[in-house]
Every structure is written in structure tokens, then in C-alpha cells.
Amino acid sequence: MTIKTSVSPISPVMATYSRFPITLVKGKGSYVWDDQGKKYLDFTSGIATCNLGHVPDVVKEKLEEQLQNLWHCSNLYNIPNQQELAALLTANSCGDKVFFCNSGAEANEAAIKLARRYAQKVKGTDSFGVITFQQSFHGRTLATLSATGQEKIQQGFAPLVKGFSYLPFNDIEALDQLKRLQPAAILLELVQGEGGVIPANPEWVKKIAEICEEKDILLMVDEIQTGIGRTGTLFAYEQYGIQPDVISVAKGLGSGFPIGAIIAKEKAAKAFEPGTHGSTFGGNPLATAAGVATVTHILESNLLNQVNETSVYLDEQLNKFKEKYAFIKEIRGKGLLKGVVVEINALEIVQKAHEHQLLILTAGPNVLRILPPLTASKEEMNEFTKALEKTFQSIEKGE
């Protein structure tokens, strides 16, 4: 049989991404290489996914071991790595039970389903509403884009899934509406990543938690981008003095291997029973092997302390740029999730950075998003600041 391949110069891959003209073929630590052998310092971390850098040895070894044994079976059987990873996540969070899936969007889908079922089957109400916040981002499935508080994400997908309402982010007075809306749950990010790298105000978060406790509303925290060490603690909620009922995680959980999860308190978790939710590939032996290795390394090493030290150093360097370049208006973020607010097109800066062998991201039209690997050394931070300064100098000169 002859295998047919396309000879068309047009890619057969759907055009759902605006891709840069870079083809990456190799990665190690904080660096990636393209198909021409050009080396880049990667301060995107696969959009907060490769928290231990590219191809970390501790994860590679665990995956190689698992590859020799079992790739997939199904959730009809017990999976040891799944049990071990769930134990790690619950022992180091306020949660009691874990559901595994394949991505952040799937994790938030599971959280939304859990909230509805909790309200209807545990509380015995007909409530199904979920409150989210303007400029939030929770995924691109039909339900999670409906939960997302950005019209540009929702355009062309009407009718949206009903049941979602959006309040202003960081607005304490607007929380009075919660008592009127009586939702099943509140879903929020503690740092809005895609929405502009905007940290939540601690007093605002505390008020939300108080209302949720008073009204028996599930408090669900989307830690897809902030979780697994990104902000200097294993989960960002630890820095806010709250205990969410549900935590959604993905991205950094598998060091680049596809995996997602929700971690729930027992009171919420009991809403899911056999047959109420599932995922064919969720928590399979390979994915959970990567998760076990990743989380174990973060917990057993000095990495979280390093993140906090590196974050302070990075803030200092970025604020020096703010003083030097008039087009930089603000530095914000938490841990190693940094936003640089500029008054020019952020995408132009990202593209110019490529010329200086540096990869960074945007978070909206006027925000640069900087996501170093948690393992980035001070030397690599210095390399980053030198490349970014060259980029800013080129922009200032109009090159």
C-alpha cells in the first residue's frame, strides 16, 4: 500500500493559531533550538507549562521507566501512578479528592459540572449558575469559553452555554450582587493570566470567600496558570489565606505532558458518583508518571524558595526598565508570572525579541507576559535582561 502525503505548500493543519515563523525541534532547560540550529532563551515555558524547564531529567527518567511497562489501560482499573499523584496533591492542598483529565479546559469543565451537580444533588436546589469575572480566561470548550469573561473569545460561538454571569474583577462593591444571584459556584483566577497578568486583591478575595462560606456557594479557583509552583507556593491560593472547595490545575502539572485535574474538598467531591463524569485518557499511566515526578521534585527540592528569590530579582530588573523606557507603564504579577504593561503594541516587542534569540509572550494588546522556567538560574535571568534591553533599545530607536 502506498502512503499518500500532501504536496501542497499550504499546511494541512487548521489555522487556529497565528504562528511565528519559528520551527522548534529541541529543548533543554531554559533553552530551545529551531530547525536551523538557532538557540533561543525560552521565557514562555510553553505558556507556564514547562515549569521545570524543557525535558527535565527527573521527569524523563520516570517516563522512560513507565514506557517499559504500561502506556494505557483505562479508568476501569486502578492506576498506581494516579493514586500516588492524587495523594501528593491532596496532602499538599486543602483538597480531599482528585479527578484527572487531559487539559486545563477539561479541568474547568469538570469543575463546572461538579458545581451544578453539587447544587442540585447535594444541596437539593435548582441552582446551576456560575459567577466568573470580566477579562477572565477559563478555556476554549463551549462551556469554558462561556465561562470566560472576554467577548473576543466568545465571538462566533453563539448561543453560549447559559448559566454564567460576569462581575468586575477586584471590585468589592460588585460582590453585593452575589446575594441576589445565588449562584452554585464562583470561579476565579488569582492572577488573570490571559486577561493581562492582573493579580487579585487580597481583600476582594477574602470577601468572596466569606460570602461563599455564608451562602454555601462553592469557591472554585482556576490555578491552570498559577498552580504547581508558578507563584512561589505550590498553589497561589495559599498566599491569600483561603481554602477553595475546588482547585483546577493543568499546565505545569506534567512538565509538558498533557494532564489536568480538579482537587476538591470532600463535601463537593461527593457530588460525583460512578458514571457521572469521566475521561478516557484522564490520569493514564504515562501522564500521571510525569505528574508524580514533577510534583515530587518541586516539593522535595529548594525550588519554591528559588522561585521567590528569583521573582524579587526579576522585579528589580523589570522596574529598572520601567524607569528607563517611557513606553513601559507598569510591572505587575506574582512569582514568575510577570506582566509588563506598555503603551505600544506588545506583539511588536515579542517579534523584535526573536531577533535577539528571546521568547516571550503577550497577554492582550498592551501587556508582555514573562514566564521563565521555575528552574531558571540567576545567570539565565541576566541573559534575559540583556536580551530584553536590546529589544527595548531597538523599539525605542524605531528599528
> Cell numbers 489555522 label which residue?
15
Give the chain's mean pLDDT: 96
The verdict on residue 8 lying in a domain is no
Q: Are residue 268 and residue 342 in the same domain, yes or no?
A: no
* pLDDT band of 181, cuts 50, 70, 90: confident
> Is 322 a residue whose pLDDT tops 80?
yes
Answer whether residue 197 is part of any domain. Answer: yes
- The answer on 149 and 200 residing in a single domain is yes
Up-side HSE of residue 218: CA atoms within 13 Å toward CB? 35
In a 10 Å sphere around its CB, with 0-12 CB exposed, 13-18 middle and 19+ buried, how is residue 322 labelled? middle
Domain count, the chain: 2
Residue 398: the pLDDT is 80
Same domain for 310 and 285, yes or no, is: no
Q: What pLDDT is stored for residue 6 in this prediction?
A: 67
Asked whether residue 117 is domain-assigned, the answer is: yes
Dihedral angle sign, alpha carbons of residues 178, 181, 184, 188: negative
Percent of the chain exceeding pLDDT 70 equals 99
Residue 14 in domain:
no
Do residues 213 and 137 both lie within one domain? yes
Q: What is the pLDDT of residues 49-70, one digit of tens each?
A: 999 999 999 999 999 999 999 9
Taking the whole predicted model, whether its pTM rises above 0.85 is answered as yes
CA 385 to chain centre: 24
Considering 237, 269, 300, which residue would you say is the last residue of a domain?
Answer: 300
Q: Is the pLDDT of residue 379 over 80?
A: yes
pLDDT at 394 over 80: yes
pLDDT single digits (tens) 217-276? 999 999 999 999 999 999 999 999 999 999 999 999 999 999 999 999 999 999 999 999
Q: What is the β-pairing status of strands 185-189 and 130-133?
A: parallel
CATH code of the domain in which 181 resides: 3.40.640.10
| pLDDT exceeds cutoff 80 at 2 | no
Structural domain includes residue 232:
yes
Give the per-residue pLDDT at 397. Answer: 83
Range of the domain at 324: 24-55+302-397
Residue 162 has pLDDT above 80, yes or no: yes
Q: What is the pLDDT of residue 7?
A: 63
> Are 64 and 153 in the same domain?
yes
What's the CA gap between 304 and 375, in Å, rounded?
9
What is the chain's percent helix, strand, coil content, to nearest 5?
A: 40, 20, 40
Is the pLDDT reported for residue 332 higher than 90? yes
Range of lowest pLDDT (100-109, 172-181, 193-202): 172-181
Task: Specify the pLDDT at position 4.
Answer: 74
Do 179 and 43 share a domain, yes or no? Answer: no
Q: Based on the domain organization, do 50 and 123 belong to the same domain?
A: no
Domain match, 210 and 278 both: yes
Confidence class for position 31, pLDDT limits 50, 70, 90: very high
Q: Parallel, antiparallel, or unpaired for β 198-199 and 191-192?
A: antiparallel
pLDDT of residue 253: 98
Q: Are residues 255 and 287 in the same domain?
A: yes
CATH no. for residue 383?
3.90.1150.10
pLDDT band at 3 (very low <50, low <70, confident <90, very high): confident
Domain boundary (300, 331, 351) is at 300
Q: Is pLDDT of 350 > 70? A: yes
Q: What distance in Å separates the CA atoms of residue 162 and residue 169, rounded to the nearest whole number?
A: 21
**Same-domain check for residues 208 and 348:** no
One domain, residues 254 and 155: yes
- For the cut 70, the answer to whether the pLDDT of residue 83 exceeds it is yes
Q: Name residues whose C-beta falls within 8 Å of residue 24's C-beta, 6 or more positions apart in sequence.
A: 32, 33, 34, 35, 40
Is the alpha carbon torsion for 117, 119, 121, 122 positive or negative? positive
148 band by pLDDT with thresholds 50, 70 and 90: very high
Yes or no: say if 217 and 185 are a contact pair by the CB < 8 Å rule.
Answer: yes
Q: Report the DSSP beta bridge partners of residue 164.
A: 130
Span 88-114, mean pLDDT? 98
Domain boundary among 274, 300, 326: 300
Distances (CA, A) of 139 to 8, 65, 142, 250, 264: 32, 32, 9, 11, 19
Do 323 and 176 belong together in one domain? no
Q: Is residue 224 within 8 Å of 258, Cβ to Cβ?
A: no
State how far the Cα of 205 lies from the Cα of 226, in Å rounded to an integer: 15
